[in-house]
Chain A
Amino acid sequence: MSLLKVNDLKVHFPIRGGFFKRVVDYVRATDGISFEIEPGETYGLVGESGCGKTTTGRAVIGLNHVTSGEILFEGKDIAKLRGKEKRLHTRDIQMIFQDPYSSLNSRKRVLDIVAEPLRNFERLSPDEELSRVQALVERVGLNPEAVYRYPHQFSGGQRQRIGIARALTLNPKLIIADEPVSALDVSVQAQVLNFMQDIQKEFNLSYLFISHDLGVVQHLCDRIGIMYRGRLVEEGLAEDIYENPQHIYTKRLISAIPEMDPAKRLEKTHLRQAIDEEYYAGYEQSFDENGRLFDLKKISDSHSVSTP
């Protein structure tokens, strides 16, 4: 059984306007998305800014109201649960938030922030708690004394790592990692990604890894879903996506990965231009008569593409 199975998930936000602040339309941020994640697997959700990645992740952990669809976690539909029952069933799902600062309570010390999920579910002596928190903080590359300080006393990248440590305290089964390393320089980024891979092996963790950058997820994801305007346009194993991309939007994302090898740079520029032309020429054909992207269709056991 898959650990997480999302079925035709929709999250629509009302847009209000006019005199009486009536609902005039909806932002279809997530508009009919389905995917599955196995235990120990990393699933990458990739797409441009505003395409609905965060909305999808927040819906899975229960922070967004679900318009329709199912979210099965260990076989149970958590989209319909409320209150205490929901908290119990979602304790094994944690999220690393895209915006590290506003997601950390500025009045609490790092110790209390990181230990908070622990306190809700486990009884530890203060000493046990402290050493567990310090060990985690050190694993994400911060100094153990950092636990006595407040979020505003940290740099952007340091705060992001506090958020990562917090998500790990309860040894969850699924972590929704929303751009977890985008504020970090390459070396620290590597350190954190290596660490995330280590604990994945250790605890058979699953990741829903959200990113706008296909370059970063390359080393990490088993399977990838490419998201565009609230829908998936392609899904497959990492090698399907990188070596045999089918949808023009996927091709465009891949061609946009920066080329560091100067010898290949010119070749890449030409490829990028050719793909851009194809993209603009064929743009209209990606949508049905209602302006909606087509559903995914299987083209092999592991690989599906949105086509008419």
Chain B
Amino acid sequence: MGNTVLEIENLRTSFSIGEKYYPAVDDVSLKVHENEVLAIVGESGCGKSALALSIIGLHEQRTTRLEGQVNFKGQNLLKLSRKRLNKIRGKEMGMIFQDPMTALNPLAAIGAQIEEPMKYHLKLSAADMKKRTLELLRRVGIKNENRIYSQYPHELSGGMRQRVVIAIALACDPVLLLADEPTTALDVTIQAQIMDLMKELQAQMKTGIILITHDLGVVAEMADKVAVMYAGQIVELAEVNELFNHPMHPYTRSLLNSIPSNMPNKDKLHVIQGIVPTLQKLERTGCRFAPRIPWIPASEHEENPIIHEVKPNHFVRCTCYKNFHFEEGELGEDDHVLT
């Protein structure tokens, strides 16, 4: 395995709501190495984007509190000045945002927006920048790149905007890429093309990638390691085949069980019952998943769940996985063996 590119230690990101701060990311520690793809999966609202935005320092400072460490190239990013951070952002670190419209400037032409980081970080002539930009557009699967170059964000389709955001993130060959749902709006053919593009970047720059996605097919295809998040915490971490073949945490097992094609011909799709509590309502002692599996007695949970290394490099939070079973009448588990 290569050198560590990014090391997150005990990161806590809290948002102020009303008078108080509530953590959305709670004591997360993770490492990303060169050439490695770390996938982060978890239910909508569990804190994945909050985690990514904390790394790159893009939360609104006024309403956000960050604690812990984010070490990148020997410096703690949480302690850097805006100016130093701007130097890193867009060059050594690229980010693909979940919401393309907020990441794009509605008043600037697409070409200019892709060239912006190049102008700042690379020393290229105007002609070379344009050449590189058109090339990038083609590589993210945009066919009429000359037209798109001079168009504005609102004139593009949803999937085209997402690909422009990808082009911006890749413009300066980053060594760390944060990709937040990079392919949700894209059909499988283009999705495959984008994944190849990320792999090429990796081969060239040894880029470490944090890939946030709810698409387990993409995880299976791309990831080396997978971190599963629930309510702001990592609940399971393992190498990808290990995780799919031997999921342990009840949340991970429920998640794998809700893949549609694992339940042929069912009228109703599998749902993990209950909803994620809001940040204010979230009970912060005890196992956070316990309320979603009420048929598992309290005695099976740890009082203060910690992460256990249950096998080499396979980590699980809480002991409730040991005697977990699906609720009676529910479909059992199929095997999720990946070949």
Residues of A bordering B, CB below 8 Å: 13, 15, 17, 27, 48-50, 53-55, 98-102, 141-143, 145-146, 149, 153-158, 178-179, 182-191, 193-194, 212-213, 215, 219, 252-253, 256-262, 265
Chain A residues with CB under 8 A of B186:
49, 212
Chain A residues with CB under 8 A of B102:
101-102
Per-residue contact bits, chain B 31-50, to A (CB 8 Å; 1 contact, 0 not) = 00000000001111100111
Residues of B bordering A, CB below 8 Å: 15, 17, 41-45, 48-50, 98-102, 141, 147, 150, 155, 157-161, 163, 181, 184-190, 214, 216-217, 254-255, 258-262, 268-272, 275, 277-278, 280-281, 337-339
Are B275 and A194 neighbours in the complex by a CB distance under 8 Å? no
Contact partner of A185 (CB less than 8 A), chosen from B41, B261, B262, is B41
Are B275 and A145 neighbours in the complex by a CB distance under 8 Å? no
Q: How far is the CB of A192 from chain B (nearest CB, A)?
A: 10
Closest to A261 in B: B261
How far apart are the CA atoms of A146 and B280 in the complex, in Å?
10
Contact partner of A215 (CB less than 8 A), chosen from B214, B254, B260, is B260
Chain A residues with CB under 8 A of B261:
215, 258-261
Q: How far is the CB of A274 from chain B (nearest CB, A)?
A: 16
Closest to A193 in B: B269
Are B98 and A183 neighbours in the complex by a CB distance under 8 Å? yes
How far apart are the CA atoms of A88 and B68 in the complex, in Å?
55
Known pairs A48-B190, A49-B157; A145 contacts B278 (CB<8 A): yes
Q: How far is the CB of A71 from chain B (nearest CB, A)?
A: 21
How far apart are the CA atoms of A145 and B337 in the complex, in Å?
40
Q: How far is the CB of A144 from chain B (nearest CB, A)?
A: 9
How far apart are the CA atoms of A219 and B270 in the complex, in Å?
13
Using A187-B272, A256-B188 as known contacts, list a sample of 20 further A-B pairs with CB atoms less than 8 Å apart, ordered by residue number in A. Answer: A13-B155, A15-B147, A27-B147, A48-B189, A49-B159, A100-B99, A102-B102, A143-B278, A149-B17, A157-B45, A185-B42, A185-B255, A187-B254, A188-B43, A193-B269, A194-B271, A212-B187, A252-B189, A261-B261, A265-B339
> Which 10 residue pairs of A and B lie closest in terms of their CB atoms, listed nearest first?
A49-B159, A157-B44, A190-B269, A185-B214, A102-B101, A256-B188, A212-B187, A260-B261, A187-B258, A258-B217
How far apart are the CA atoms of A156 and B98 in the complex, in Å?
7
16 contacting pairs across A/B (C-beta < 8 A): A13-B155, A48-B187, A48-B189, A49-B157, A49-B159, A49-B187, A53-B157, A54-B158, A102-B99, A145-B280, A155-B50, A182-B185, A183-B181, A194-B269, A212-B185, A215-B260
Are A179 and B259 neighbours in the complex by a CB distance under 8 Å? no
Known pairs A187-B270, A190-B260; A50 contacts B160 (CB<8 A): yes
Chain B residues with CB under 8 A of A191:
271
Chain B residues with CB under 8 A of A155:
44-45, 48-50
Chain B residues with CB under 8 A of A256:
187-189
Chain A residues with CB under 8 A of B339:
262, 265
How far apart are the CA atoms of A141 and B272 in the complex, in Å?
11
Q: How far is the CB of A147 from chain B (nearest CB, A)?
A: 11
Are B269 and A153 neighbours in the complex by a CB distance under 8 Å? no
Which has the most chain A C-beta neighbours within 10 Å: B160, B188, B270, B272? B188
Are B338 and A262 neighbours in the complex by a CB distance under 8 Å? yes
Q: How far is the CB of A263 from chain B (nearest CB, A)?
A: 9
Chain A residues with CB under 8 A of B217:
258, 260
Chain B residues with CB under 8 A of A262:
337-339
Are B187 and A158 neighbours in the complex by a CB distance under 8 Å? no
Closest to A100 in B: B99
Chain A residues with CB under 8 A of B270:
187, 190
Known pairs A48-B190, A146-B278, A194-B269; A54 contacts B157 (CB<8 A): yes
Which has the most chain A C-beta neighbours within 10 Å: B15, B101, B161, B338? B101
Chain B residues with CB under 8 A of A154:
45
Contact partner of B44 (CB less than 8 A), chosen from A149, A188, A261, is A188
Chain A residues with CB under 8 A of B254:
187
Which has the most chain A C-beta neighbours within 10 Å: B48, B49, B50, B189? B189
Q: How far is the CB of B244 from chain A (nearest CB, A)?
A: 10
Q: How far is the CB of A120 from chain B (nearest CB, A)?
A: 25
Closest to B335 in A: A262
Chain B residues with CB under 8 A of A212:
159, 185-187
Closest to B256 in A: A186
